[in-house]
Amino acid sequence: MLITLQRRVLHLRSPLVTAHGSTSERHVIEISVQEGKFYGYGEASPLPGFGLESFQEAETALNNWVQDPEQLPTSPAALSGAATALEYLAFAKRGDSLPPASIAVQALVGASEIFDVETQVAQAIDAGYPAIKLKVAATNTSADIERIRVAATLTNEKALLRLDANGGWSTNEASQVLRAVADEQIDLVEEPTQDPSDWRAISTRTGLNIGADEHLSGALQIDRILELKAAHTFVLKPSVLGGPGFTRQLASRADEHNIRVLISSFLDGPIALRAARDLALDLAPHEIHGLGTAALFVDELPEDVQPVKGRIFRR
């Protein structure tokens, strides 16, 4: 088996501000595996602040795999890219083909200024997105309340509004903000605090559904969330969970506990977006997934990952 690695840099149209910091570009390692006339493709792209290996560590792990293809990388982003490439290689060798289909996707808004939030949410609605995820917890609570209210006013009866705190609020901050906006139509709040033991009480006090994301990266953390009944939704990012196989396993566990599953991008490039799209179609075809991120890049990504009226298409 021949393994080829290629670096790539993708540039965001404007910085995405989250509780983990500001991101303006994505450094990506594109992976190609070949056996005879058959190919499979994957992608590794760690993001600082999310508990993954560094870009250099991912690249080293993948270079070691090139030298010894029998030993898969163990670091999360590198493993996810390698496992994705191998699955698509096996798919190609079997001669399988996937039918044309499309999946609904949400827009992502990370602007910190009220005017920019208003502009970006309005643009997303005009573009036909059925849901919008607003990044929160990167400013003070007063600003967050105002940002959420502005977004909620615009999305009311037009699109779902989802919030993502990336664990950036304290328990008191989460309760303060979410109580203040509890009358708004909010679909879910991802990772309101760093401690999942807070989430059930926050949900009870505010009446809002809670999504788990970053805390799904390890078996012990997943077990704890299930034991605490802390989350109503699992937001699964295949590009950091070990690839398609691990993502399916986690989706199956969620289903056993009556937990909704959404598939999400990690500000991925086109290869990882395609893989996530295929998983979304397989695991939850009627949900609105976090896969509308191609529109955030200056770089022109391929048409099959570019949202059109709030959907991406497998052709």
Same structural domain for residues 68 and 105?
Answer: no
Residue in the structure block whose two tokens are 């309340």: 145
Domain of residue 219, CATH code: 3.20.20.120
Same structural domain for residues 123 and 236?
Answer: yes
In 3D, which of 114, 125, 131, 124 has the Cα closest to residue 296? 124
* Percent of the chain's residues with pLDDT above 90: 91
Same structural domain for residues 196 and 88?
Answer: no
pLDDT-based confidence at residue 305 (cuts at 50, 70, 90): very high
Residue 49: per-residue pLDDT: 72
Domain endpoint, select from 27, 61, 94? 94
Same structural domain for residues 119 and 85?
Answer: no
Same structural domain for residues 122 and 64?
Answer: no
Same structural domain for residues 110 and 86?
Answer: no
Residue 14: per-residue pLDDT: 86
Same structural domain for residues 40 and 173?
Answer: no
Domain of residue 7, CATH code: 3.30.390.10
- The total of structural domains in the chain comes to 2
Separation of alpha carbons 149 and 168, rounded Å: 19
Separation of alpha carbons 276 and 98, rounded Å: 14
Domain endpoint, select from 56, 79, 94? 94
Same structural domain for residues 62 and 135?
Answer: no
The predicted-structure confidence for 227-236, as pLDDT tens digits, reads as follows 999 999 999 9
Structure tokens at 281: 């179609």
In 3D, which of 56, 272, 20 has the Cα closest to residue 167? 20
Containing domain of residue 109, as a range?
101-314
pLDDT-based confidence at residue 260 (cuts at 50, 70, 90): very high
Same structural domain for residues 182 and 52?
Answer: no
Domain endpoint, select from 43, 64, 94? 94
pLDDT-based confidence at residue 47 (cuts at 50, 70, 90): confident
Same structural domain for residues 70 and 151?
Answer: no
pLDDT-based confidence at residue 73 (cuts at 50, 70, 90): very high
Same structural domain for residues 135 and 152?
Answer: yes
Residue 96: per-residue pLDDT: 87
Residue 48: per-residue pLDDT: 76
Name which residue leads in pLDDT, 28 or 97. 28
For residue 216, pLDDT over 90 is answered with: yes
For residue 16, pLDDT over 90 is answered with: no
Q: For residue 269, what is the DSSP state?
A: -
Same structural domain for residues 158 and 280?
Answer: yes
